[in-house]
Each structure stands twice: as structure tokens, then as C-alpha cells.
Amino acid sequence: MAEADGREGDVSAYVCRSHGRKVRQRKTFSVLAVNFGTQPEPEHKDDVTVSDKVVCMDLELLKSKFRGTMLGVLVGDILGKPYEGETIISDRKKIDLQRKLDNLEESKSRESVMGFTDDSAMTYSVAESLIEKRDLDIIDVAKRFVENFFQEHYRGYGNGCKLVSNMVLAFI
């Protein structure tokens, strides 16, 4: 049993951030430990203890927060797209956004009213890789970036991304 913030429950995933490895598995909580090299790496997973630097979170709550974060990224990207790089927003652009929002509210079909940019496409690639690989695999993330770039090059990728995509293709 683990105790953190006065709550007690089985440890679901205990991760030493400095090593990035899952050390212990059980059911109820997802537990992330902060280890910045001040504690030695445990030799056996049973040697791991839950310290005061632990955050416990129910897995369903964690999934819900992840979904909410992804939705927030997408909505922010879509609503911010017309204003990207601008310091002053014209009345015309504000009216145009309001018209699109009204159209979205009235839309009965699933037709696209507003599109997302490369920011959401790349966020999706990172999330997809983390879910599939269960760790940060920068080679896999780079491959996904390149695949998305060539499938949807119209999303607003900058010239640097175009250059890097061609370079990544040469190495993978």
C-alpha cells in the first residue's frame, strides 16, 4: 500500500523520472515519483518505497485529464489560427470568427467549419507515439511528424519544418 496526501491505495505505476522506467505495477493509483539522482536506483522493484515526493492520481481521472488537454489544444489551435503571429486583431477578423462560431453552432452536419494547424497535428503525433511506445521515442515522433507533414503539408508548416522533414527522411 502507498500513502500520499492522506489517501491510501495500490500503486499502479511508480516511475523514477531520472530513469524513466516503470518499477512497480498494481491497480488503483498512478504514482509518479520525483527522483533527480539524489536516491540510488533500486536493485529490485520491491525495494522501491513511496516517499513524500509522490503524486497519486486515479487512472480514469488521468485519462480524463489527458483527453481534456488534447481537446483544449485542438480548440485553442482552431480558435487561434486566424490570429497567429498578429499583435493587433482587426474588427474584420473578430467578426469573421464570430460568423464561423455561429455557423459551427448551427451546423447539423459534420462538415468542417474551421480547420486545425500543424500545431495540433504535431501534438497528436507526440501523443500517439507516447501511447503506442509507452515512452518518449524521439525517432518514432520524428517519423510521425514527417508522415503528417507529407500527408497534410497545407496545415501551415514553416519552411524550417519542410527542410527538416526532408533531412529526417534521408536518415530513417
DSSP readout, 9-62? E-EEEEEETTTTEEEEE-SSEEEEE--SSSSPPPSSGGG----SSEEEEEHHHH
Residues 95 and 129 in one domain: no
**Residue 151 included in any domain:** yes
Residues 121 and 92 in one domain: no
Give the residue, 84 or 11, on which the prediction is more confident. 84
- What does the pLDDT look like over 88-127, one tens digit per residue? 888 998 898 888 888 777 766 666 667 888 889 899 999 9
**Residue 42 included in any domain:** no
Residues 101 and 121 in one domain: no
Residues 134 and 163 in one domain: yes
DSSP labels, 98-129: HHHHHHHHH--S---SS---HHHHHHHHHHHH
pLDDT for res 57: 66
* 57 sits in which H/E element: strand 54-58
As for how many domains the chain has, the answer is: 2
**Residue 76 included in any domain:** yes
**Residue 166 included in any domain:** yes
Which residues fall in the annotated binding site? Answer: 117-119
**Residue 50 included in any domain:** no
Reply yes or no on whether the pLDDT at 166 is more than 60.
yes
pLDDT for res 118: 87
Average pLDDT over residues 21-42: 42
Q: Side chain identity at 161, as an amino acid letter?
A: C
Q: The pTM is what?
A: 0.56
From 78, 106, 134, give the residue that closes a domain: 106
Reply yes or no on whether the pLDDT at 35 is more than 50.
no
Give the 3-state secondary structure of residue 86: coil
**Residue 22 included in any domain:** no
Which residues fall in the annotated binding site for Mg(2+)? Answer: 117-119
pLDDT for res 108: 66
Residue 88 sits in which domain range? Answer: 57-106
Parallel, antiparallel or unpaired: strands 11-16 and 29-33:
parallel
Residues 64 and 100 in one domain: yes
**Residue 92 included in any domain:** yes
Rounded distance between C-alpha atoms, residue 132 and residue 130, angstroms:
6
From 70, 85, 106, give the residue that closes a domain: 106
From 66, 89, 106, give the residue that closes a domain: 106
Average pLDDT over residues 17-38: 40
Least confident stretch, 14-23, 119-128, 159-168: 14-23
